[in-house]
Each structure stands twice: as structure tokens, then as C-alpha cells.
Amino acid sequence: MATVEIDAGVCGHKTIVTAARGEGYSVRLDIKSDCPQVQALDAQVNEVDALRQISSRGGLPSVLETAYAGCAHAACPVPSGLVKAIEVAAGLALPQDVTMRVSRD
């Protein structure tokens, strides 16, 4: 199982994504958020095939398409966090924090 905690930044919304591996590379997602747009994703993105979600070479993976369709802000880090949770839960990536530092020069 993998858990990704996402602090979206200036909007102040927090999201926790829990991903659990089933048979093969099937991964079940549970998304908890105080953002109404992200809350709607929980019903839309339930179980995915991890191998189909980790590459964008054949087009945008379905979990990202769904997340970006429901998310009003293009820079929202939640879609990326979903993919990271899927990768780790499926054993396709090691758990490692990802950081963005944003400043104005």
C-alpha cells in the first residue's frame, strides 16, 4: 500500500491518496480531500491497471485525463500525486518524496 499526502499550495487544499495493490498490477485508489473538485475524483477513479497509468507515450493515461478534466487548475499537483501513489503501490517505483519549491525572483 502507498499513501501520498498532497498540500496543493496557495489554495490551501489538502489531499490524501491511498493506493492498494490487488491482483497483477491492479491498484485501488481512495482519495480524501477538502477540495470539492478532487473529492469528485474519488468516485471516478476507483481501480486502475498501473502499467497503463505510468507512461504518457501513447497519450495521457486515463487517471490523468480524468483528474485534469475535473480539476480547474492546470498546475494542481494532485494528478501527479495519483500517479505516484499508483506506481509505488504496484511496486513500479520506490517511495520517495517529491518537492517543488516556488519563489518569485
Q: Is the pLDDT of residue 71 over 90?
A: no
Burial bucket for residue 78 (CB in 10 Å: 0-12, 13-18, 19+): buried
pLDDT mean over 61-72: 91
Q: For residues 36 and 92, what is the distance between their CA atoms, to the nearest angstrom?
A: 30
Return the CATH fold of 2-89: Sufe protein. Chain: A (3.90.1010)
Residue-range domain boundaries for the chain: 2-89
pTM: 0.93
pLDDT-derived band of residue 70, with 50, 70 and 90 as boundaries? Answer: confident
pLDDT at 15: 96
Q: Is the pLDDT of residue 56 over 90?
A: no
